[in-house]
Structure 1
Amino acid sequence: MRLRRFLLRYYPPGIILEYERSSGIEESKTIDLLDLDQNTDIDATVEQIIRHEPLISESKRPQRTELRDKATSTEHSKFRLYQALSGHELPLTNCAFNKSGDKFITGSYDRTCKVWDTHTGRELLSLRGHRNVVYSIAFNNPFGDKIITGSFDKTCGLWNANTGECYYSLRGHQTEIVSLSFNPQSTLIATGSMDATAKLWDVETGSELYTFAGHQQEIVSLNFNNIGDLIVTGSFDHTTKLWDVRTGRDVHTFTGHKGEISSTQFNFAGDLVISGSIDNTCKIWSVRTGTCQKTLRGHQDEVLDIAFNAAGTRIVTGSADCSAKVWNTITGNCIASCYGHHGEISKVSFNPQGHTIITASSDKTCRLWNVETGDCTQQLQGHTDEIFSCAFNYEGDTIITGSKDNTCRIWKSEDYSDRQQYYDMQ
């Protein structure tokens, strides 16, 4: 075997090896370093990797040191408003970055999805054709050359992210599409609908492959695992289901919540699923056994959004009680409680490095929090109505926020601004 490319994956930390077999076939393998932190003995880790992986040579040692330093950074950046964008005519629903972070998309009640240039704030494309609210949107990351849009008009649009061409309009759901996702290979699309079904579609042909039927009420959350062979769906029927992508079969039904499911997610390793519910709790489930491992209790009102950090070691929950909480995935203990918002929290997310969470609230602000202490490190102010959506880019130095005030805002870290000033002077 001959190593062709050695790639660093920062979030979560890992190494990707692209190599060529003697037969000429090109393949890749990944070495996950999910336990990497500031206290890791990097020399011992390097020696262990070299000992067990003949493809890696000693010359890669400096890059592995860089991997630890970048992936485990604990520096908390301050963010400044970079641009406020007002291209939509009605409130925004969602926003999302592509993998490189040079573009992002916004969905809106005005029936469009817009593609924006992150560096200039310029509107690049307006994807038109839906006859009702564009509610769910996604890039086919890591490729970033396609976009899907799910609408209240019961259809999903598949678009060219560079030209705006609509490849297909995926039809078959009986009511609104409110959740969707590409698989990691960008060969499949999954859509979840208020008609209580999820559907699987072929990207190449636009044809429907499976209908996942089994929920008794609306499906409001849907995700692929990182391999792409399983889908999780969360429903108003109080259950979360796990589906086999290859067969369309119901693998597990996770039961135990006493209220509607609001959000679901796989961890990076794909062995756990979390579900948030309006019963005020979040549950951790085993993908292998289908059993509940932990129930996270502490919120005084509905849990509206949940998320793992990149490595899957921490969970954040956002609630209608105006607070967010950070939890240890293994023990289920609450590490930090974040208080300060004056309205419900509808969106939560970790930054890629995992030391900061962002929360979007109906109080018209986003806040940044220290994961370990729960201290608010910054408020992002300026929107004039509820904030529904927020996201970090892959590097963690840019944030986008989408609001009911019809605008999207780009926020850049002070470090990014300093770098940009340096480049402008060259």
Structure 2
Amino acid sequence: MRLKRFFLRYYPPGIILEYERGGHLRTKSIDLLDLTPETNLDELVSEIRQTEPLITESRAEKVKELVLRLQQKQGQQGHHRFCFCKVRTRQYLLRLLAVSPLLFSLTFCRFITGSYDRTCRIWDTASGTELRTLEGHRNVVYAIAFNNPYGDKIATGSFDKTCKLWCAETGKCFHTFHGHRAEIVCLAFNPQSTLVATGSMDATAKLWDVESGEEVATLSGHTAEVLSLCFNTAGNHLVTGSFDYTVAIWDVASKRRVHTLIGHMGEISNVQFNWDCSLIVSGSVDKTCKLWEAVSGKCVATLAGHTEEVLDVSFDLSGQLIATASADGTAKVFSATTHECLVTLKGHAGEISKICFSPQGSRVLTASSDKTARLWDVQTGACLQILEGHTDEIFSCVFNYEGDAIITGSKDNTCRIWY
């Protein structure tokens, strides 16, 4: 193995190593989830050298320099106040996902929307102009994703029962994946961008080969719609959440179900791995979230306190915090280690359908049917800012990579860009 170059990852903190083995370029990450501004650099670099053979003595000083940059970035939390910048109108706007073009880029140049008008559209964030329209589906485009960290492909899932794979630069359709017997409602790329997973109302998930366009596997076992799915950061496991009240963990290599997570008393609204792949969180209409060990499938905690359905759930990038959004109009932040509720976020006048952490983990963003999005302080639970201007329910919200821009999507058929 020969180390070629380093990439810096600010959120969560880490260093990506690009190396050559057998004539092929590969990457691996050194995750520094416990890094703080007070961490001793010499001790940390020494620990890295002991566990990572690619980091030789000659590379130690460069690693130290990169870790120092990560520490400096952590000290730049800031108290950014967002101002409305642009609005983009699209008839029947349905879903929104914002991306950075590369995991290592600090820009936030594009986002995509899927729509009832059967298209997916790519937008330039800075100018608010439409870059490209992806046409070809025969029904609602409901699920969309970029293949981060590469950002050169887009997958779209539709109520026409197909998934399409597109070139993000030219808009060319590479493949149309046929095989589901009902609407596709969720999808995801694996981190290596070699597979696309789709979840459907036909109670199955499927794996598709990005290069060939062929179906790799049908993951059967759920008895109701698969509404949520997520790869872990290693790409070797997929988790699915279903209306049958269960969560399933699948081994990607063998295409077998490893665990069925049973315990919820209602439909699963969302499932997610934490960054180090050790935990899974699930939200349910039974008004609770559950925390599960990814390896054993054991339920380690039930996070309760909401009085209505839990509609969304999210880990922060460090995997230390969990945020929940509920139809009761409140959001909560829980500790992933002690499982206690740290703060309850009160102020919305309607259900909260979407919640996410800022990349730094110091802020939480919520989207509500009360036509506003709100920014909250994670430590105190104080509402820092109300983002107003939409004229109907806000169903989606997201930070950019740096955490200094926000996009909101609404049933008023617009998305708004905030800086």
- TM tier, shorter chain? over 0.9
TM-fit CA distance, 1:261 = 0.4
Q: Secondary structure at the match of 1:385?
A: coil
Alignment match, 1:58: 61
Alignment match, 1:31: 30
Q: For the residues of structure 1 that align with 2:27 and 2:115, how far apart are their CA atoms?
A: 39
Residue 117 (str. 1) matches residue 124 (str. 2): yes
Q: For the residues of structure 2 that align with 1:189 and 1:2, how far apart are their CA atoms?
A: 30
Q: What per-residue deviation string (whole Å, max 9, x for no partner) do you get for residues 140-183 of structure 1?
A: 11111110111111111111111111112211111111100011
TM-fit CA distance, 1:8 = 1.5
Alignment match, 2:77: 74
Q: Secondary structure at the match of 2:149?
A: coil
Out of 303, 311, 328, the residue aligned to residue 304 of structure 1 is: 311
Amino acid at match of 1:182: F
Q: For the residues of structure 2 that align with 1:26 and 1:116, how far apart are their CA atoms?
A: 31
Paired residues of 1:78 and 1:378 also in contact (CA < 8 A): yes
Paired residues of 1:83 and 1:411 also in contact (CA < 8 A): yes
Where does 1:157-172 land on structure 2 (aligned, <5 Å)?
157-172=164-179
Change (3 A) 1:111 1:396: same
Q: Secondary structure at the match of 2:186?
A: strand
TM-fit CA distance, 1:2 = 4.9
Q: Secondary structure at the match of 1:18?
A: strand
Change (3 A) 1:145 1:304: same
Alignment match, 2:97: 95
Amino acid at match of 2:283: G
Q: For the residues of structure 2 that align with 1:227 and 1:368, how far apart are their CA atoms?
A: 31
Amino acid at match of 1:29: K
Amino acid at match of 2:218: T
Q: For the residues of structure 2 that align with 1:339 and 1:145, how far apart are their CA atoms?
A: 39
Q: What per-residue deviation string (whole Å, max 9, x for no partner) do you get for residues 96-119 of structure 1?
A: 324442111011122111100111
Alignment match, 2:15: 15
CA-based RMSD: 1.7
Is there any run of 5+ residues in structure 2 with no aligned partner, and where?
103-107
Q: For the residues of structure 2 that align with 1:221 and 1:72, how far apart are their CA atoms?
A: 35
TM-fit CA distance, 1:62 = 3.4
Paired residues of 2:45 and 2:63 also in contact (CA < 8 A): no
- Tell me the matched-pair count: 410
TM-fit CA distance, 1:59 = 4.2
Q: Secondary structure at the match of 1:79?
A: coil
Is there any run of 5+ residues in structure 1 with no aligned partner, and where?
413-426
Q: For the residues of structure 2 that align with 1:51 and 1:257, how far apart are their CA atoms?
A: 43
Alignment match, 2:380: 373
Q: For the residues of structure 2 that align with 1:280 and 1:380, how far apart are their CA atoms?
A: 27
Query: Structure 1 residues 91-100 or 7-16, which shifts more?
Result: 91-100
TM-fit CA distance, 1:18 = 2.5
Alignment match, 2:278: 271
Alignment match, 1:405: 412
**Larger RCO, structures 1/2 (Cα 8 Å, 6+ apart):** 1
Paired residues of 1:235 and 1:261 also in contact (CA < 8 A): yes
Q: For the residues of structure 1 that align with 2:30 and 2:331, how far apart are their CA atoms?
A: 33
Paired residues of 2:45 and 2:60 also in contact (CA < 8 A): no
Alignment match, 1:418: none
Q: For the residues of structure 1 that align with 2:67 and 2:233, how far apart are their CA atoms?
A: 23
